[in-house]
Structures are given as structure tokens and as C-alpha cells.
């Protein structure tokens, strides 16, 4: 059940991003799985006290680190650089793939270059956004879990977005694509499956993502065989082109005309009770523990 010589696994959780609470949910789930698998494990709360948590980590002397951090520092290459320097193998993607995947505009540009359609848009200043025609979606360029995402359909929405605009910063603004919300998980370069997200009230925002029963997961996504193949191909292409490791999850929009648009990639997707990756893995008859074990066995440094 162990990987060769892998006995001790530290789980990094918490972090300093807006997704700290979600990281604890992922991390605690992973801890339980590791114990069931027979690994010795220890939780490491990653805070802004760098020396303290690094000491906790090195005192434990893990064979592998499971990175259960989400958002800034956890999946943008920051913590990956530290683990590379410490020469401790870790799960998920390395520095470059993590930093590029966290940058939504960068991944949009890469997707376009490799033939994957994206919604029209780009990084915009406040004044540029003010002149754009509705409907639109405004996103921070480097946040996850839909943090800070705003759907702008009315002038009232636009006024609110202008009031909330970060001082002297650009944000990602895209043309709003009416349609269906789809996601594809990729493990070790191959698609696990697809899911359609049917939100019972509102849209797939932070609150709905993590509220039990707020979103129905249709697995596999009820799309045509041709659309499913295309979704899997796009998710695998962006995973492989960024040189991601372990698991990733790519999000898409399917328009009423049947056109697929890539939204973003998550190089360290959630492992909470309502997360999508464990759900999609069941299509391959994989348990939560199976995914965790595969990520441990594939852990490495850059």
C-alpha cells in the first residue's frame, strides 16, 4: 500500500490566502485518507510565520509532502519553491506549472495558442471596463474558488463592480457566456471524467461550491460523445502543455450553440466533501483514498 520507502507524509494546509478555510477541509480529508492507507502523517498549518511552520515540517522529517493548500502562495509556485529548496518531494504541480496555472490571463493566452477557445476579454483597467458592453464577468487574475468573481448583467451590477474595483489594479474581464458549467479532472495526464454543475439557486460561486446540497453534480456530464471527447482533449492538452503533475481540474462553459469555452485550470483542486475531483474519479472506480495514494506515489521535486 505504501510507495517504495514512503512512510511519513506531512500535509500542508491552511495557508495565507482567501481559501484558508477550504484548505483545512481538504487537508483534514486527506489526513483521514492517509491514516486509512497506513501512512504516518502530520498536519502542518502554513501561516505567515515562515520559520515556524518550516521547523515543524523539518522536525517531522517527512518522506513526502501532500500539498493541500489552495490559492495564493499554496498553488502559485511559492510553497513549491520552498519544498524544492528543502528537497522534500511534494504532490501536485511544480513551480512553473503552478505559477502559470494560477495566472488566468496567462492560461487563456496559452489555451488560445494550442487551439482551445476562450471567451473574449483580457486584463482591463477600471476605465477600460467602464466602456465595455454587458454582459460581462469580472475576476481577480490570481484567485481560486470563485473568490471575487462578479457577473455583470445590469448597469447596477456594473456600478457596484466599479465601486469595488481594486485601487490601481487590472482585473480579468471576459464576455459572459450564457450556457452550462462543466468541469474535467485530469490525473497523471489522462482525463478522469466530466461533470456538469447544476446550481439550485444563483450561480456556482464560493458559497454554493462548498454548501452541502447546493449544487447537483451530473456525472458523467450529459453532453454528446463528440463534446465529451473535446472536453477531455482540451483538459488533457492544457494539463500537459503547462507540464502539470498529479491532478488538475479544468473548467469550461458550454454555450447554447454547443461551443465549448475554456475558463481556467486549477492545479491543486479541492479535496473537500463537496469537491469535484473525488466525484469524477468514481467513474474510474477510484475511491478518495485511491486518488490520495496515487498523488503520494507521484510526488517529486522540480
- Mean pLDDT lowest for which of 58-62, 199-203, 205-209? 205-209
Task: Tell me whether residue 99 is one of the annotated catalytic residues.
Answer: no
124-143: pLDDT as tens digits: 999 999 999 999 999 999 87
Task: Tell me whether residue 20 is one of the annotated catalytic residues.
Answer: no
Rounded Cα distance between 267 and 93, Å, is 6
Position 202 scores a pLDDT of 59
User: pLDDT grade, residue 212 (50/70/90)?
Assistant: low
In terms of pLDDT, which residue wins out, 5 or 114? 114
250-278: pLDDT as tens digits: 999 999 999 999 999 999 999 987 789 99
Rounded Cα distance between 165 and 43, Å, is 36
Exactly one of 63, 75, 143, 251 is catalytic; which is it?
251
Indicate the SS3 state at residue 248: strand
Exactly one of 249, 250, 261, 268 is catalytic; which is it?
249
Exactly one of 26, 67, 208, 266 is catalytic; which is it?
266
Exactly one of 14, 17, 19, 67 is catalytic; which is it?
19
Q: Taking the CB of residue 58, how many other CB atoms lie within 10 A of it?
A: 12
Exactly one of 76, 194, 264, 275 is catalytic; which is it?
264
Position 1 scores a pLDDT of 40
How wide is the angle at C-alpha 186 spanned by C-alphas 235 and 17, nearest 5°?
Answer: 95
Task: Tell me whether residue 213 is one of the annotated catalytic residues.
Answer: no
Task: Tell me whether residue 145 is one of the annotated catalytic residues.
Answer: yes
Q: Write the DSSP symbol of residue 282.
A: G
Average pLDDT over residues 212-219: 78
Task: Tell me whether residue 251 is one of the annotated catalytic residues.
Answer: yes
The residues with which 196 forms a beta bridge, in sequence order, are 182, 218
Exactly one of 108, 180, 270, 275 is catalytic; which is it?
270
Indicate the SS3 state at residue 276: helix
Rounded Cα distance between 68 and 292, Å, is 11
User: pTM (2 decimals)?
Assistant: 0.91
Quickly list DSSP for 62-88: -SEEEE---STTTSSSHHHHHHHHHT-
Handedness of CA 256, 260, 265, 269 (dihedral sign): positive
C-alpha cell of residue 205: 460561486
Task: Tell me whether residue 302 is one of the annotated catalytic residues.
Answer: no
Amino acid at each position: 500500500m505504501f510507495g517504495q520507502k514512503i512512510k511519513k507524509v506531512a500535509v500542508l494546509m491552511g495557508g495565507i490566502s482567501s481559501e484558508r478555510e477550504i484548505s483545512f477541509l481538504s487537508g483534514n480529508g486527506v489526513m483521514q485518507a492517509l491514516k486509512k492507507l497506513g501512512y504516518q502523517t502530520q498536519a502542518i498549518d502554513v501561516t505567515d510565520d515562515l520559520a515556524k511552520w518550516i521547523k515543524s515540517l523539518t522536525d517531522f522529517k517527512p518522506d513526502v509532502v501532500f500539498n493541500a493548500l489552495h490559492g495564493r502562495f499554496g498553488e502559485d509556485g511559492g510553497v513549491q519553491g520552498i519544498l524544492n529548496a528543502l528537497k522534500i518531494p511534494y504532490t501536485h504541480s511544480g513551480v512553473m506549472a503552478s505559477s502559470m496555472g494560477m495566472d488566468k490571463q496567462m492560461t487563456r493566452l496559452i489555451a488560445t495558442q494550442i487551439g482551445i477557445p476562450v471567451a473574449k476579454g483580457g486584463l482591463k483597467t477600471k476605465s477600460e471596463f467602464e466602456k465595455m458592453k454587458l454582459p460581462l464577468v469580472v475576476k481577480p487574475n490570481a484567485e481560486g474558488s470563485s473568490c471575487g468573481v462578479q457577473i455583470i448583467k445590469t448597469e447596477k451590477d456594473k456600478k457596484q463592480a466599479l465601486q469595488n474595483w481594486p485601487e490601481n489594479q487590472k482585473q480579468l474581464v471576459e464576455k459572459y457566456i450564457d450556457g452550462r458549467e462543466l468541469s474535467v479532472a485530469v490525473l497523471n495526464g489522462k482525463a478522469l471524467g466530466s461533470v456538469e454543475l447544476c446550481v439550485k439557486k444563483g450561480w456556482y460561486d464560493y458559497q454554493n461550491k462548498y454548501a452541502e446540497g447546493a449544487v447537483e453534480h451530473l456525472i458523467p456530464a450529459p453532453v454528446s460523445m463528440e463534446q465529451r471527447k473535446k472536453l477531455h482533449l482540451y483538459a488533457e492538452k492544457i494539463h500537459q502543455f503547462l507540464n502539470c503533475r498529479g491532478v488538475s481540474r479544468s473548467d469550461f462553459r458550454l454555450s447554447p450553440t454547443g461551443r465549448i469555452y475554456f475558463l481556467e485550470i486549477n492545479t491543486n483542486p479541492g479535496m473537500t466533501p463537496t469537491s469535484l475531483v473525488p466525484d469524477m474519479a468514481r467513474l474510474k472506480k477510484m475511491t478518495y483514498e485511491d486518488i490520495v495514494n496515487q498523488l503520494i506515489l507521484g510526488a517529486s521535486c522540480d
